[in-house]
Amino acid sequence: MMNTKKNPEIDMRTRIAWGVVLIVVGLLVLFLFAFSTEAGQVTKFGLNEAKGEAITIPDLLLPTQPTNYVLALILIAFGAFQLARGVKSTSTLVAVLAFSFVMAFLVWAARDKSFSLVGMLSSSVVRATPIALAALCGVISERAGVTNIGIEGTMLFAAQVSVIVGTTTHNLWIALLAAILTGAAVASLHAFLVIKFKVDQIISGTAVNILGAGVTSFVSSRFLEKNIDTLNNSGTLPAFAIPLLSKIPVLGPVLFDNTPIVYLTILLVAVLHVVLFYTPWGLRTRAVGEHPKAADTLGVNVYLMRYINVMIGGMFAGLGGAYFTVGSVGRFDEVMTAGKGFIGLAAMIFGKWTPIGAYTSSLIFGFADSLQVKLQILKVGIPPEFLLMAPYIVTMIVLTGVVGKAVAPAADGQPYEK
């Protein structure tokens, strides 16, 4: 954390806090996941997806108890080291903590059983995609100073338009394009209201959400449900395995055997990161979001920047909407986005308004999503309702500022008046 370096006392305190947390978690692992198991138990992780990879590698067999002893020791040793010396990078600490704990939990949960680790990871990446696209929409709008909570509604519109276009044209790429354009159109409505007429941004966003749910449900029940084959059966974009790379064990099926929308999302994260932080355009965007008056004085067209960025954000949301229909099930059903747009906003905050941070936190939400399915199959004994809550609890913990402070752009949500 940057600001802690200035003050050695706070530095010291966070160091000790981290050390204690690591040791406590290590002890928890020891008591909950190691002592409760028996000596002979074995955990089996499936490392092949049943898709017929060229190279199959043997499943990972881990002796449950010794593995968790080792993981607990790693945590405790790391904690002790942190207390004595201190590790500079917070992200290393978070990574060690999260990896060891989750791994120990999985090894414990799957004792005497087997489950597909690769399957879980690959579905995490897929499930993170709509969340990530919603988060990117939020990032670029809010960086330019416009709060857009209408992402959910935008995605619903785009999802519906893409399935209709896909079914009527029989071309899923056109459907994808239509979704992106729809996203831009809906976002421009929001932009028009909040920039031109300075309508309260939360109200306008809420209106977009209500409008999205209402209009798409109306169209769905009036037209789509009665004409499934002519309007609501687009098929899905096929998964595209990248040659060679998809043959790599574990990583291949997780990262390189996905639908185009998943690849596109990863690409967009990288592009947006570069554009936002390394180009004049990105600098202007951020200036408009932090201090529009200063930007205006220097000759940046604040309104234009805001319009364009909100519309680009809408395009991301549009692509996210397409994920639900042409990217996943090939049909539209009422309110099928099921709150992913809102979780995307949480991912944006979790990711501190940066594209890479937003994507990483989307992956965490996606992981929680697919983990809970596996835990139910493994019969862990935690009520499913509780597992379904997990992503939201994580969001709330993040919002309280425990994991670093997330600061919004200074002029976020404020209309600019010359």
Partner 1 sequence: MKKLYSVLAVLLVATMLLTACGTPATEAPAVTEAPATEAPATEAATEAPTAAPTEAPVVIKVGEVTDLGGIDDKSFNATAYAGVEKAVTDFGVEGKYLESQQQSDYAKNIQQFLDEKTNLIVTVGFLLGVDTATAAKANPDTKFAIVDYSYPDCFGDTAVEGQTCGSATELPNVLGLTFQTDQAGFLAGYAAAAMTKTGKVATFGGLEIPPVTIFMTGFKAGVEYYNAQKGTTVEVLPFTYTGNFESTDDGRAFAESFVQEGADIIMPVAGPVGLGSAAYCKETGSCMIVGVDNDWTVSAAEYKDVILTSVLKNTNVAVYTAIQQVVDGSFKGGLYIGTLENGGVGIAAVTGASDELKAELEKLTADIISGAVKVGE
Q: Which is nearer to partner 1, 100 or 220 (CB)?
A: 220
Min CB(340)–partner 1 separation in Å: 8
DSSP string, 145-169: T-----HHHHHHHHHHHHHHHHHHH
Residue 191 · residue 307 · CB < 8 Å: yes
Q: Which residues contact 273 (CB under 8 A, 6 or more apart)?
A: 354, 355, 356
CA atoms within 13 A on the CB side of 92: 9
Whichever of 71 and 179 has its CB closer to partner 1, that residue is 179
Q: Which residues touch 2 (CB under 8 Å, ≥6 apart)?
A: none
CB nearer partner 1, residue 285 or residue 395: 395
The tokens for 12 are 């010291």
- Give the separation between CA 299 and CA 284, rounded to whole angstroms: 10
CB distance 181 to 157 below 8 Å = no
* 388-405 core/surface letters (b: 16 or more CB in 10 A; e: else): eebbeebbeebeeeeebe
Q: Could you list the residues that contact partner 1 (CB under 8 A)?
A: 46, 49-50, 115-116, 119-120, 123, 126-127, 130, 193, 197-199, 203-204, 207, 210-211, 213-215, 217-218, 220-221, 225, 228-229, 233, 236, 238, 324, 328-331, 333-338, 369-370, 373-374, 376-379, 384-385, 388
The Cα–Cα gap between 232 and 168 comes to 9
Q: Which of residues 27 and 388 has its CB atom nearest to partner 1 in the complex?
A: 388
Min dist CB 252 to partner 1, Å, is 15
Nearer residue to partner 1 within complex by CB, 266 or 388: 388
To the nearest whole angstrom, how small is the minimum distance from the Cβ of residue 351 to partner 1? 22
CA separation for the pair 340, 127 (Å, rounded): 10
Cβ 211 to partner 1, closest distance in Å? 5
In whole angstroms, the minimum distance from the beta carbon of 39 to partner 1 comes to 25
Q: Find all residues with CB under 8 Å of 135, minimum gap 6, and list them.
A: 344, 345, 347, 348, 351, 358, 359, 361, 362
Quote the least distance from Cβ 164 to partner 1, whole Å. Answer: 15
The alpha carbon dihedral of 270, 276, 281, 285 has a sign of positive
Closer to partner 1 by Cβ: residue 130 or 166: 130
Q: What's the DSSP call for residue 48?
A: S
Closest CB to partner 1 among 79 and 391?
391
Q: Is 350 exposed, middle or buried (0-12, 13-18, 19+ CB in 10 A)?
A: buried
| Residue 60, H or E segment | strand 60-63
CB of 29 to partner 1, least distance (A): 25
Closer to partner 1 by Cβ: residue 127 or 284: 127
Shortest distance (Å) from residue 8 CB to partner 1: 47
Q: Count other C-beta atoms under 10 Å from residue 41's C-beta.
A: 17
Task: Between 238 and 299, name the residue whose CB sits nearer to partner 1.
Answer: 238
Contacts of 185 (CB under 8 A, 6+ apart): 314
Nearer to partner 1 by C-beta: 71 or 336?
Answer: 336
